[in-house]
Structure 1
Amino acid sequence: MPQFAAHLSLMYPELPLLDRFAAAARDGFRAVELHFPYAVDPREIAARLQDNGLQLVLFNAPAGGFTPADMAHAWDQGARGLAAQPGREAEFRAGVLEALRYAERLGCPRINVLCGTVPPGVERESLKALCVDNLRWAADQAGRAGCDILIEPTNLRDVPRYFLNRQDHAHELLDAAQVPHLKVLMDLYHCQLVEGDLHGKLQRYLPTGRVAHVQAAGVPARNEPDRGELHYPFLFDTLDALGYTGWVGCEYSPSAGTSQGLGWRDLALRNGPQHPA
């Protein structure tokens, strides 16, 4: 079975963020991921990781902002990313450099970069070259720091007008950028809402080696993976069959208590050994 990472921005919502690390460790997680860590000093996060024997495997670059304070709250204020935003290249670069500073302090190997929304009256295709240039620069910076930059196709129901929606569009950007440290985050929840055919998409894209991280949640409500229309045991078996050895992020909102809702994970782990990191 794949390795599962607790998504601490959504799981254990009854606890302050820094207390969620211990809760995840008590529930048997060895890795965690976050949306945006910028409101917390990286030294505090590093201490919680060390104290609880956890690895941080993914977090997002800032959704916007030039200053650390603005970056910490950009998403809550409506920002949705910068990689495909005309005229905001300097802001994009400032955010990537801040993300890399956190990644270095926290030992995190992957940063998810948000592309942003398509401005009204603008054609998506006209933003592609800008996005590729920004991602190429970011991947070059990340490579020097020993990290990968990831991009994530996201559904339009949750983020209207988001620039990047489909798996094939993400891989087109990688084809255009031609840099080794640019990868894809394949969120099965988003993929199901936009495209479906998850088994086919996994078979097509995992063998390329370009999918560096997978996330899972129930569809349509983004609760536990065993709720909704997807049959995750089959999809986890597919990941195994395709030789996927990365992490599966549990990026979902618990329908009740986080710990009480982990039966799906415990069943999955009983069905087979985890792969090594």
Structure 2
Amino acid sequence: MTKLAANLTMLFTEVPFIDRFEAAARAGFQAVEFLFPYAYSARDLSERLKANKLELVLHNLPAGHWEAGERGIACHPDRVAEFRDGVWTAIAYAKELGVKQLNCLVGIVPQGVTRQDAQVTLVDNLRFAAEALKDEGIRLLIEPINSYDIPGFFLTNTAQAASLIAAVGSDNLFIQYDIYHMQRMEGELTNTIKKHLQLIGHVQLADNPGRNEPGTGEINYRYLFQQLDAAGYTGWIGCEYKPRTTTEAGLGWRAAHGV
């Protein structure tokens, strides 16, 4: 059965972030996710989750200077200590918030760094993070991102993610499969999901083009939800899309797609 989590970074932006928990619960969501919790105290976020009877299913490791355009530092050879400090920060938040999986945005390859050096750094950092999270009962995810939206991003397709997991050699590293990003990079959504299902720890959605709600673009989401169920995917699907108008006005897509 398809389980949807509201991405509070993208949805309900009509209200302040801290009030989006209540908005999500009011709209019928039982779970939420977001990019980063670090601008808020874990206690405040935990209280919002409990007050609205919501499960937090995902947030990201610290990802560098986001406002300056950084999208992760795990592949940056000169920032290993910063990355590893961020792992401990993320674990502290996750334990307070009851999060069972954390996503690592691996980053844009820095100028002057070869892909080989970036790969070596990334493998070492992911091995460290996967084992640190495993000790706390938390899964580590990595997310391929399309190179149109984020040029230079190191990890851009499912096969590369699977290869990276093999190189790390940990049983606590999985793929965050974002349907929107992978439609742009490789298509062949159903067969790719089925092929790599055992490695997929979390799924996110948005339609393409536009990254809006399902039903606004080319992806047959009704079919894809059925295929995910048939394949045996039992995790959450994060709604990480940009509403065409307001979040509330666009939520009719759920009933239209049978979820």
Q: TM-score scaled to structure 1, two decimals?
A: 0.91
**1:1-277 to 2 correspondence within 5 Å?**
1-64=1-64, 74-206=65-197, 209-269=198-258
Q: TM-score scaled to structure 2, two decimals?
A: 0.97
SS in 2 for 1:225: coil
Task: State the aligned residue count.
Answer: 259
CA shift digits 1:70-99 (9 cap, x unpaired): xxxx21122211111112110000111111
Percent identity between matched residues is 47
Give me the whole-angstrom Cα distance separating, in 1, the residues matched to 2:44 and 2:71.
26
Give me the whole-angstrom Cα distance separating, in 2, the residues matched to 1:194 and 1:123.
22
Give me the whole-angstrom Cα distance separating, in 2, the residues matched to 1:172 and 1:102.
29
Give me the whole-angstrom Cα distance separating, in 2, the residues matched to 1:170 and 1:55.
27
Deviation at 1:232, TM superposition (A): 0.5
Give me the whole-angstrom Cα distance separating, in 1, the residues matched to 2:69 and 2:205.
24
Deviation at 1:199, TM superposition (A): 1.4
The one-letter code of the counterpart of 1:77 is A
Gaps of 5+ in 1: 65-73, 271-277
Give me the whole-angstrom Cα distance separating, in 2, the residues matched to 1:13 and 1:96.
28
Give me the whole-angstrom Cα distance separating, in 1, the residues matched to 2:84 and 2:151.
24
Deviation at 1:177, TM superposition (A): 1.1
Asked if 1 retains the 8 angstrom alpha-carbon contact of 2:101 and 2:139, the reply is: yes
Give me the whole-angstrom Cα distance separating, in 2, the residues matched to 1:268 and 1:42.
35
Gaps of 5+ in 2: none
CA shift digits 1:99-140 (9 cap, x unpaired): 111100000011111111112344323322221110010011
CA shift digits 1:211-265 (9 cap, x unpaired): 0000000101111011111110111111011010000000011111212211121
Give me the whole-angstrom Cα distance separating, in 1, the residues matched to 2:248 and 2:97.
25
CA shift digits 1:8-33 (9 cap, x unpaired): 01101110011100111011100000
Give me the whole-angstrom Cα distance separating, in 2, the residues matched to 1:9 and 1:79.
17
The one-letter code of the counterpart of 1:94 is D
Deviation at 1:158, TM superposition (A): 1.2
Asked if 1 retains the 8 angstrom alpha-carbon contact of 2:31 and 2:54, the reply is: yes
SS in 2 for 1:171: helix
SS in 2 for 1:76: helix
Give me the whole-angstrom Cα distance separating, in 1, the residues matched to 2:69 and 2:90.
19
Tell me which moved more, 124-133 or 14-23. 124-133
Give me the whole-angstrom Cα distance separating, in 2, the residues matched to 1:50 and 1:177.
36
